[in-house]
Amino acid sequence: KMRLIFYLVTFIFGTCIGSFLNCLIYRLNNKQSFLKGRSFCPHCQHKLGFFDLIPILSFIILKVKCRYCGQKISGQYPLVEIVTGGLFLLILNFQFGGSQFSIFNLLTSVRFFYLLIISSLFVVVFVYDLKHYTIPDKVIYPAMGITFFYQIIYNFPAIGSSFWSFLLSAFGAAGFFFLMWLVSKGEWMGFGDVKLGFLMGLFLGWPNILVALFSAFFIGAII
């Protein structure tokens, strides 16, 4: 029973983070600060109240329309909230599914919160790139920094072969994309993919990066 409560709370927390990520994606594109200012309708600019911002539920209650101007609400908002909540659940299960579950283990797990942060940043990268065909530096560089320092801390006190495996995977993936960018003069892919390749390699390490790259190209070919 306690485990189910943790799962429910984690999903709700993930949907709330997903709501924030939607705000971040919008404001990054419009060069607005996401640290201040209340949420507002992107159509009429009317400030939104609490009942307009309940993840998933507000989208259903408002019948996919803004309460103030009647314009349609993009399906991106509930999708990002649901996906983020689902990712948080997967991470929770991955981290604690087969072990003794307790609130102490949850709150003291550096790896758990690290994965939540990185997965959130990847959601922003995915949606932003899908909408605007570019990867924002304001997201990719912090993600690189967080991942780099995590890999150092995770391999502390001795930075052994595993750390260098992650680092070489990062440079290898970035180098692969850089060559494609250089040869095609930016026509096959943008330089943002070079940065994303570095982040993926640093996050996944060897040989997981190969699986990720193969899957990405395979899915891309299908689409």
pLDDT tens digits, 85-123: 999 999 988 887 666 666 666 666 888 899 999 999 999
Identify the band that residue 190 occupies on the pLDDT scale cut at 50, 70 and 90. confident
Averaged over 120-135, what is the pLDDT? 93
pTM, to two decimals: 0.86
Candidates 125, 91, 117; CA nearest to 106 is: 91
Q: When comparing pLDDT for 94 and 202, which is higher?
A: 202
pLDDT for res 53:
83
Sign of CA pseudo-dihedral 57, 59, 65, 71: positive
- Mean pLDDT for the chain? 86
pLDDT for res 54:
87
d(CA 124, CA 196): 12
d(CA 169, CA 42): 40
Q: How many CB atoms lie within 10 A of CB 88?
A: 26
| Tokens encoding 108 | 């003291």
Q: How many CB atoms lie within 10 A of CB 60?
A: 10
pLDDT tens digits, 3-21: 788 889 999 999 999 999 9
Q: How many CB atoms lie within 10 A of CB 127?
A: 18
Continuous H helices in 53-191: 57-61, 76-96, 103-108, 110-132, 137-154, 161-184
Residue 176 in this model has a pLDDT that exceeds 60: yes
Sign of CA pseudo-dihedral 136, 217, 119, 202: negative
| Tokens encoding 183 | 């040869």
pLDDT for res 144:
95
